[in-house]
Structure 1
Amino acid sequence: MGLLSGLKDSLQRVTDSLFSEDEQKRIGIYGPPNAGKTTLANRIARDWTGDAIGPESHIPHETRRARRKENVEIERNGKSVSIDIVDTPGVTTKVNYEEFLDYEMEKDDAVRRSREATEGVAEAMHWLREDVDGVIYVLDSTEDPFTQVNTMLIGIIESRDLPVLIFANKIDLDDASTQRIRNAFPQHETVPLSALEGNNMDEVYDKIAEYFG
């Protein structure tokens, strides 16, 4: 009887853990190269966990593998949301090794870097199609948002019916235009911010709690 009772208690604990809590939500941070995805991921992680996710760089495709920060708990207006942040490589339709030569890399290093960047794009797409529960889409508000890559990725996000927030980053720069991004994707909410300077992060966290909670 003791063995059967113990087995019953163990099964009950497993059942309770399966059905009492929702699975941790994985929120992917997506966008083109150099939009500020890692800068934003690091700011969110530092603000709520004290730790960064990965190195930041002005060189494109610095993030060549998806990096994950688990159990980021954000509390806003009495509401708490716990998410895993997935910082993904920048997505582009073509990676040319010659673009890395502009950053004083040797040709062999540039070729290797471009190969790693291409693999990173493939990994980012796999996460988007299979493994994320919501998307933070980061755009450089000084650049034209209406590109083939952005249109394609937003289309994939919509086809999966994923909740998505568009963040217009780099509003600290003189030629930034949040409205240009709103006009390109009016079907989704756009939130202005500067991940580097920390501008408007209160609204960013309000929206994350609202959309992904």
Structure 2
Amino acid sequence: MSVFKRLKENFSGMFKKLFNKKNARIGIYGPPNAGKTTLANRIVRDWTGDAMGSVSSMAHETRRARRREGVTIRSNSHSISLDIIDTPGLATKIDFHEFMKQGLGEAESKRRAKEATEGVIEAVKWLENLDGVILVMDATEDPFTQVNVTVIGNMEARNLPLLIAANKIDLPEASPTTIRNAFPQHPMVAISALEGKNIDTLYEEIAKRFG
């Protein structure tokens, strides 16, 4: 091999190392109240000491995507730096009457419904700029919802790496096995984002899947 060719290859390798260093952009998706923000807070707090956003039992509390850059996750055998994007809950229909049932006035309910709808559109647009998705499912609910099936189909069409987090296993009615059986083509980790159960296993899988 000539000296010139060797220098060219060495320079090419150095160039790739210098300019391919970027954080993987990972979106946290799922239906309302599946525990997306709870999981985002858990990840960010565990690795930075901060929090991502407020959590509420009211659906569509997160109505705008929130991004936290440079979260480095280290597992036993892998390490990865992430930009975490906590997205609004995906829904096929957002009815302002649902907010009114929570005690909000009509005007406030309509405003929230409008913002939530815009948030869903924003979440879908984010898919163009992601390197992977963590899909949070409520392990106490039927996994065969229109939202879950649509999201998984969308991820598969885009060839985006997908990791399913079967959340809320701290609840007695949780059945993560049902989720695993429903979508066996994708890796799944059963967790409790609230209590931190199996969270280290999730971190290991995140580092392997998106690294």
Q: Same fold (TM over 0.5)?
A: yes
State the shift of 1:190 in Å: 1.3
The number of residue pairs the alignment matches comes to 199
2:185 alignment partner in structure 1:
187
1:100 alignment partner in structure 2:
99
Residues 1:68 and 2:67 are matched in the alignment: yes
2:24 alignment partner in structure 1:
25
State the shift of 1:78 in Å: 4.0
Residues 82-161 of structure 1 aligned to structure 2 (within 5 Å)? 82-128=81-127, 130-161=128-159
Farther-moved stretch of structure 1 (116-125 vs 22-31): 22-31
1:7 alignment partner in structure 2:
none
Question: Which 4+ runs in 1 deviate beyond 4 A?
Answer: 15-20
Q: Give the one of 185, 198, 209 matched to 2:207.
A: 209
Structure 1 length as normaliser, TM-score? 0.90
Structure 2 length as normaliser, TM-score? 0.91
Percentage identity across paired residues of the two chains: 59
Q: Give the one of 145, 153, 160 matched to 1:162.
A: 160
- Distance in 1, matches of 2:186 and 2:77, equals 25
1:47 alignment partner in structure 2:
46
State the shift of 1:147 in Å: 1.1
* Residue identity matched to 2:114: R
Local SS of the residue matching 2:113: helix
* Residue identity matched to 1:210: K
Residues 1:36 and 2:35 are matched in the alignment: yes
- Distance in 1, matches of 2:68 and 2:144, equals 30
- Distance in 1, matches of 2:119 and 2:153, equals 20
2:174 alignment partner in structure 1:
176
- Distance in 2, matches of 1:78 and 1:175, equals 33
* Residue identity matched to 1:123: E
Structure 1: state its 5+ residue gaps: 1-11
2:4 alignment partner in structure 1:
none
* Residue identity matched to 1:152: T
Structure 2: state its 5+ residue gaps: 1-10
